[in-house]
Amino acid sequence: MDKKLLLSGAIMMANCATFSQEIVPLNQNLTTDEFSLLESGSQITSDPFAILANWFSTIDICKWAGVYYNLRKRIMALDLKSCISQQDLSGWNLGGTISPQLGNLTFRTSLDISSNFFSGFIPNELANLQGLKQMNFGHNNFSGVIPSWLGALPELELLLLDHNRFTGVIPGPWYILDSILLCNKCILNSSILNKLSYLSFTVCTGGIPLEIGSFLLNMWYNLPALEELYLSTNQLNGPIPSFIWDCKTLVRLYLAENNFTGEFPGEIGKNNILEILSVINNNLSSLIQPGIFNMSSLVYMHLAFNYFSGSVPSASSMQIRLPKLQEIFLNSNKFSGRLPSPMANYSKFTMLVMSQNSFTGPIPSTLGNVRSLKYLFLGDNNLTRESSTPELRFISSLTNCRQLEYVVVSGNQFDGLLPASIGNFSSSLRLFTAFGSRISGTIPSENGNLSSLEAIYFDNNDLTGYIPSSVGNLSRVQGIYLEHNRLQGHIPTELCQPKNLGDL
């Protein structure tokens, strides 16, 4: 799910929880608030679901949709995004402009009009909302410059302006914000954000601009509390600036789906608290920097869909320096050499994705020591079997991984036999894919023991003999792919038993 939607959804649910505990309806006629809301409602020109149908002076104001009060008869929030459910983030599709009268309301907590179609400018009269703590104008069609007075609201802790059409300079100072999700096509020219922990830019193009550079260039000074930097899904290009690694508090870094080029900064090893590193789908190249394997706090390493080359460091290096690693995505690069020995002492390691590279040699049999492994993707390499035995020993070792769900080893050069131990996989196994991998010999009858298997791909190999009748025991299987082999005999009638089987 989109990072910004996750953040907005979390904020929305937090607001709902607050309202349910603190805000109750009261039969109180607050004339100033009523007039301000009626005037604001008159500026809403599109209400396709009639959400504001009860905004009339003849109806008790505390019953108006989206209006909340506390026990002291003070308005707490205006929420026109709604709190329907965590799954429904679509909003009410309201449209129109924001009335200056909105600034006369006595907000104490939150103003949320996100995920609608409001347009125009943000009225300066909203500067009167001195008690406001949260403001969410995200996912609308607002334009113009961001008002400078937003940085002067004394109680404001969270500001969301993403997915609008703001332009120009992002003003400062922003001394009081904990979180800020900012806009497209804006330039930073701000003073110190002492409390800021989350910073995001959307719909940016070009390199990370030097206008931002005066701000980001000294991130460790300008953003002393920054924990998350989200620059994914833009059109940023050029090298990744080395100054990013000077931010000593950075925990999560998202640079995915851009056009960054060049080498990965050698300074990456400076950060010893980074947990998430995502640079998926860029144009980064050259050898992988050794420093990346010296980040002891790293949990998620996502480097897929780039042009990294060279070999992956040895097992001893990874075991010592990446003790918290849970996921590693190195797929769709130009890595070569042998696969690294597994991280046996990684109790939370669940996902190893190294497909679509040029790795050679056998799959380490010690991979079975990683008992927490759930997803293994090693397809489309040049992997072979161990020379000491005709059987694929790695299959036997993987049966020790009792949580394993996906095994994808297609498109390799195994030149080996399927062992009978393939039937010893746990009931967790759902997918086994080994098509086009030069596998020979017969299909072991023990395959029928894989009770939870949903799909098995043995097509485009050199299998011989008969299809074992035991495959009829695969009660959950939906697809069995055996074409383009040298199998013989009849298709066993037992294959009619799996009720979900659709492809054969």
Q: What is the mean pLDDT of residues 211-216?
A: 48
Instruction: Provide the CATH number for the domain around residue 302.
Output: 3.80.10.10
Residue 502 main-chain phi, psi, to 5 deg: -120, -30
| pLDDT tens, position by position, 354-382 | 999 999 999 998 889 889 999 999 999 99
Let me know if residue 302 belongs to a domain.
yes
- Spatial distance between the Cα atoms of 488 and 126, rounded to a whole number of angstroms: 78
The set of residues, in sequence order, having a beta carbon less than 8 Å from that of 21 and lying 6+ positions away, is none
- Are 39 and 65 within one domain? yes
| pLDDT at residue 374, rounded to an integer | 95
- Spatial distance between the Cα atoms of 322 and 314, rounded to a whole number of angstroms: 12
Q: Contact 419/443 with Cβ under 8 angstroms?
A: no
Let me know if residue 301 belongs to a domain.
yes
- Are 4 and 151 within one domain? yes
Domain count, the chain: 3
Let me know if residue 424 belongs to a domain.
yes
- Are 459 and 490 within one domain? yes
- Are 146 and 194 within one domain? no
| pLDDT at residue 346, rounded to an integer | 72
Cis peptide before 313 (omega within 30 of 0): no
- Looking at per-residue confidence, does 219 or 238 come out higher? 238
| pLDDT at residue 239, rounded to an integer | 86
* Cα–Cα nearest to 21, from 87, 91, 79, 76: 76
Which amino acid belongs to residue 496? C
Which range is most confident: 32-36, 202-206, 238-242, 403-407? 403-407
Tell me the C-alpha to C-alpha distance, in Å, between residue 279 and each of 5, 105, 468, 501.
20, 44, 45, 39
pLDDT tops 80 at residue 95: yes
Let me know if residue 335 belongs to a domain.
no
- Spatial distance between the Cα atoms of 117 and 186, rounded to a whole number of angstroms: 20
Specify which residues 440 forms β-bridges with: 417, 462
Radius of gyration for the alpha carbons in the chain, expressed in angstroms and rounded: 29
pLDDT tops 80 at residue 450: yes
Q: What is the mean pLDDT of residues 130-146?
A: 84
- Are 269 and 397 within one domain? no
Q: What is the mean pLDDT of residues 333-338?
A: 94
- Are 58 and 20 within one domain? yes
Let me know if residue 289 belongs to a domain.
yes
- Are 56 and 40 within one domain? yes
| pLDDT at residue 319, rounded to an integer | 46
Domain boundary at 138, 166, 194, which? Answer: 166
Let me know if residue 337 belongs to a domain.
no
Q: Are strands 179-181 and 158-160 parallel, antiparallel or unpaired?
A: parallel
For 13, the enclosing helix (H) or strand (E) is helix 3-22
Let me know if residue 381 belongs to a domain.
yes
Specify which residues 314 forms β-bridges with: none
| pLDDT at residue 5, rounded to an integer | 35
The set of residues, in sequence order, having a beta carbon less than 8 Å from that of 123 and lying 6+ positions away, is 98, 99, 100, 102, 103
| pLDDT at residue 220, rounded to an integer | 54
| pLDDT at residue 102, rounded to an integer | 84
What's the residue count for the chain? 504
pLDDT tops 60 at residue 201: no
- Are 139 and 215 within one domain? no
Residue 283 main-chain phi, psi, to 5 deg: -125, 35
- Are 162 and 208 within one domain? no
Let me know if residue 262 belongs to a domain.
yes
Domain boundary at 136, 166, 196, which? Answer: 166
Which amino acid belongs to residue 215? F
| pLDDT tens, position by position, 250-283 | 899 988 988 889 887 777 777 789 999 999 999 9
| pLDDT tens, position by position, 65-83 | 878 877 665 678 888 875 4
Domain boundary at 150, 166, 182, which? Answer: 166
- Spatial distance between the Cα atoms of 408 and 433, rounded to a whole number of angstroms: 5
Please give the residue range of the domain that contains residue 423.
Answer: 354-504
| pLDDT at residue 177, rounded to an integer | 47
| pLDDT at residue 315, rounded to an integer | 55
Tell me the C-alpha to C-alpha distance, in Å, between residue 155 and each of 208, 241, 248.
31, 34, 27
How many CB atoms are located within 10 Å of the residue 348 CB? 11
Tell me the C-alpha to C-alpha distance, in Å, between residue 80 and each of 74, 141, 403.
18, 15, 44
| pLDDT at residue 189, rounded to an integer | 36
- Are 305 and 404 within one domain? no
- Are 14 and 158 within one domain? yes
Cis peptide before 498 (omega within 30 of 0): no
| pLDDT tens, position by position, 389-434 | 899 999 999 999 999 999 999 999 999 999 999 999 999 999 999 9
- Are 32 and 71 within one domain? yes
- pTM beyond cutoff 0.95: no
